[in-house]
Structure 1
Amino acid sequence: MDLPSVKANPPFQQIKAVLEKIPSGDHVWDLDGDEEKRILNWLVKLIATNMEWIENTDEREDLLVTVCQMIAERSGRMAAPTKVRKFTMGNHKEIRILEPSLTYDTLGFKTWGSAPLLSAHLPEWETPDPSIRALELGSGTGLLGISAAHQLGWQMVCTDLPEIVKNMEHNVLENESLVQENSGSVECHVLDWMNPPSTDHPPAWLERPFERVIASDCVYETNFGRLAIALFLKYLAKDGIVITEYPLRHTHLGEIAEFEELMQKAGFIRDTGEEIGQEDFGSRYPVTCRWSRWKYSNSV
């Protein structure tokens, strides 16, 4: 890509034409690393000058906003602006997911690498059955629950923390026609893993056990694995199945090993495998993910 020299004070139309050619949004990582680095350096140089040579204030403001957005997209998920992402399922239908800007305490606002993989592969492991009630722990944006309701007709109960559930509800409504197409449904509820509802007086949606409990990317913090297992044992039907998938990040291999050991000690055995997913905005960040279908050993 031909990038004009910033020192030459390129005019508005020339800069605008170049910016329109630079990949952004879902295609932000389409270029190879060296080309991406060259473009990022050019964008930063533009911002550093404030493009003072462009006399039209509106034109300069337009360029500054666009350049800032492009730099933010290339600064990782913490800097990514609010956006709508599109995920295509195996039947070629599309789920639209709103992802608000991320802060350190709202990781559930983003759709991480294992959720799209699990969404895609559930129909390979499960037969569509509208009678199945499934609980998802840490649903985040709601992608997996929406996908399961649509593709399998499951009656999904998606859960997360209060600050996450509102956006999840928005995404469920945005994809309502898909959810209902095969007699599926999605409910959104608050479930704090550290403070779950009392078993003496549970809410109506927790009064019956679930045939499936699903959790993607559930072991990215110390003790999350232990908390998740406690909820599996609490809410799963005796002949039910737990379905998990998580990235094998080298920073969390200890937590993953502990989680899998504790699942076996709790009486679960599994079918399992590994596949390659995307950790961030695109193929520049591939990550190996491990999926598992866990059953009680006495129910096999």
Structure 2
Amino acid sequence: MASPIGSHGTFNVKTDRRGSTVPVHISEQAGARAENLSLSTWGASFVLANALHELAVSLPKGREAPASGSHVLELGAGTGLVGLTAAILWKMPTLLTDLSPLLPALAGNILLNKALLVRQSVSCASLDWSKPDQIQLFDSKQSDTQIVSPRQTKAHVILAADTIYSEEHPELLTKTILTWLAPHPDARVILCYPLRMAYIDHIREFWQLMEASELVCVEEGRENGDEEWNELAHTPYEWCMWGWKHASAGELN
């Protein structure tokens, strides 16, 4: 599915229920590829970015994240639309992660939106889900590689869009989430994915693994695809938000 903006453009993302929007600038750098996929802004990213303002997320207040940490962590960020939207809306330190070949383009999109990110720290880093206990912060000069460990910091909110499309992904994604999600009753994982028939079994397995890992879905919804995304016109997109089972019912609602 190709991006509706082409190689460079602006997504007007909703910021409230009145229909207000904020322009998030995205460039899809030619030649940027990882795991045989070219860099693109997938439909699930647009759906999730537009849903963030409606979700009941309790964000930390009056607490600064560690210099090497973040309150918000995006997995499989791609062009970074979801993470950038979260940083703009929530004004929280945000870390966008993906495989290393995509990081220069991801860093470029952070710079494109610097006028909207003046109040918060946004950075990008390499995270390989097969080695989920190590994040390598991106340094364009490659002069001093900084490694972040989950022993140093955890994420209050983890975001992921269209990250379940192979049989390995359910287990790898679940392990990565469990590695980085803070053990706090307000901590949340928010995902969005298209319900393509080829991936239904992978999505079902992911849900089973999450539920077996002391996490519970606290909110979910669906939206139909858009023909502009080159997805089948009626392909539904599902988003879901998860929290820890050990939180009280009152804390999860």
Deviation at 1:268, TM superposition (A): 1.2
Q: 1:191 maps to what in 2?
A: 127
Q: 1:269 maps to what in 2?
A: 216
Deviations 1:209-242 (A, max 9, x none): 1111111112111111111110111111112111
Question: Structure 1 residues 288, 176: closer, same or farther in 2, change over 3 A?
Answer: same
Question: Structure 1 residues 134, 205: closer, same or farther in 2, change over 3 A?
Answer: farther
Aligned-pair identity (%): 27
- Tell me, which stretches of 5 or more residues in structure 1 are unaligned? 1-75
Q: 2:21 maps to what in 1?
A: 92
Q: For the Cα contact (< 8 Å) 1:157–1:187, is it kept in 2?
A: yes
Question: Structure 1 residues 244, 294: closer, same or farther in 2, change over 3 A?
Answer: same
Correspondence for 2:113 among 150, 172, 175: 175
What is the count of residue pairs matched by the alignment?
A: 220
Letter in 2 for 1:192: D
2:42 aligned counterpart, secondary structure: coil
Letter in 2 for 1:157: L
2:191 aligned counterpart, secondary structure: strand
1:187 aligned counterpart, secondary structure: strand
- The reply to whether residue 203 of structure 1 matches residue 151 of structure 2 is no
Question: Structure 1 residues 264, 164: closer, same or farther in 2, change over 3 A?
Answer: same
Higher relative contact order, structure no. (Cα contacts within 8 Å, ≥ 6 residues apart):
2
Which aligned pairs between 1:18-29 and structure 2 lie closer than 5 A?
A: none
Q: 1:17 maps to what in 2?
A: none
- Tell me, which stretches of 5 or more residues in structure 2 are unaligned? 15-19, 64-69, 136-145, 249-253
Which aligned pairs between 1:49-128 and structure 2 lie closer than 5 A?
A: 77=2, 83-90=7-14, 91-101=20-30, 105-107=35-37, 109-125=39-55, 126=57
Query: Equivalents in 1 of 2:182, 2:10: separation in Å?
Result: 33
Q: For the Cα contact (< 8 Å) 1:81–1:101, is it kept in 2?
A: no
Larger Rg: 1
Q: For the Cα contact (< 8 Å) 1:152–1:184, is it kept in 2?
A: no
Deviation at 1:204, TM superposition (A): 3.6
Query: Equivalents in 1 of 2:134, 2:85: separation in Å?
Result: 30
2:131 aligned counterpart, secondary structure: coil
Deviations 1:56-98 (A, max 9, x none): xxxxxxxxxxxxxxxxxxxx749x9972032101132211111
- Higher helix fraction: Structure 1 or Structure 2? 1
Question: Structure 1 residues 161, 108: closer, same or farther in 2, change over 3 A?
Answer: farther
User: Could you state the TM-score of these two structures normalised by the residue count of structure 1?
Assistant: 0.66
User: Could you state the TM-score of these two structures normalised by the residue count of structure 2?
Assistant: 0.77
Q: For the Cα contact (< 8 Å) 2:76–2:161, is it kept in 1?
A: yes
Q: 2:93 maps to what in 1?
A: 155
Q: 2:188 maps to what in 1?
A: 241
Q: For the Cα contact (< 8 Å) 2:59–2:156, is it kept in 1?
A: no
- The reply to whether residue 146 of structure 1 matches residue 84 of structure 2 is yes
Letter in 2 for 1:117: V
Deviation at 1:108, TM superposition (A): 5.9
Q: 1:134 maps to what in 2?
A: 72
Question: Structure 1 residues 221, 282: closer, same or farther in 2, change over 3 A?
Answer: closer
1:86 aligned counterpart, secondary structure: strand
